[in-house]
Amino acid sequence: MIEIVRAKLHGIRVTDANLNYQGSITLDPELCERVGILPMEFVDIWNKNSGARIQTYVILGDAGSRCCVLNGSAARTCQPGDEIIIAAREFINRSEIYDIKPKVLTFKANNEIDQELFYDVFETPDRAHNFRIMNGAEVVDFRDTARDMAKKSSH
């Protein structure tokens, strides 16, 4: 068995931090449903502003609120406005790596969904394991974008 990312909310902004609430992260259930994150599921949280990395469980807030509230001790790691990444994990058999398509939502500054993506591992004649980021049938591999930008800036 290997552990993989199953779902991700990438670049969502913290809307509140509530130190005096029982520990957890409160998320908009509509966002959780879109990627398949369940209530009480443990998730990893990576703060892009501070570099803090924590784990806590999900509780659901108000539908449509776009809320992202760190509660209890987790509130010490994130401030309102911080951009974070929330990832859910899953154990799979190695042979299932080609079958899974982890969902990823990216966000605008107001926690409005920017893109709905998925990760894809595929095989080619040259290599057993290739990786790409997909937006429907379109490849949106950010590694290519970064390489293209580096080439342009060197000219």
72 is in an annotated binding site: yes
Give the pLDDT mean for 38-52: 96
The arrangement of strands across the sheet holding 42-47 comes to 16-18, 68-71, 24-27, 53-60, 42-47, 83-92, 2-13, 103-107, 113-122, 130-135, 138-139
Query: Exactly one of 24, 50, 65, 119 is catalytic; which is it?
Result: 24
For the chain, the average pLDDT equals 91
| 154 belongs to the catalytic site | no
pLDDT (0 to 100) of residue 139: 80
Given a cut of 60, is residue 145 above it in pLDDT? Answer: no
3-state DSSP assignment of residue 8: strand
pLDDT band at 155 (very low <50, low <70, confident <90, very high): low
Ranges assigned E (strand) in the chain: 2-13, 16-18, 24-27, 42-47, 53-60, 68-71, 83-92, 103-107, 113-122, 130-135, 138-139
Q: Which residues of 12-38 are buried (b: 16+ CB within 10 A; e: fewer)?
A: bbbbbbeeebeebbbbbbebbeebebe
Query: Exactly one of 21, 50, 57, 119 is catalytic; which is it?
Result: 57
95 is in an annotated binding site: no
pLDDT (0 to 100) of residue 19: 93
136 is in an annotated binding site: no
**Range with the lowest mean pLDDT among 9-18, 56-65, 108-117, 145-154?**
145-154
pLDDT band at 138 (very low <50, low <70, confident <90, very high): confident
Identify the structural domains of the chain with CATH numbers, from first to last.
Answer: 2-121 (2.40.40.20)
pLDDT band at 154 (very low <50, low <70, confident <90, very high): low
Interval 2-26: pLDDT, tens: 999 999 999 999 999 999 988 799 9
| 57 belongs to the catalytic site | yes
74 is in an annotated binding site: yes
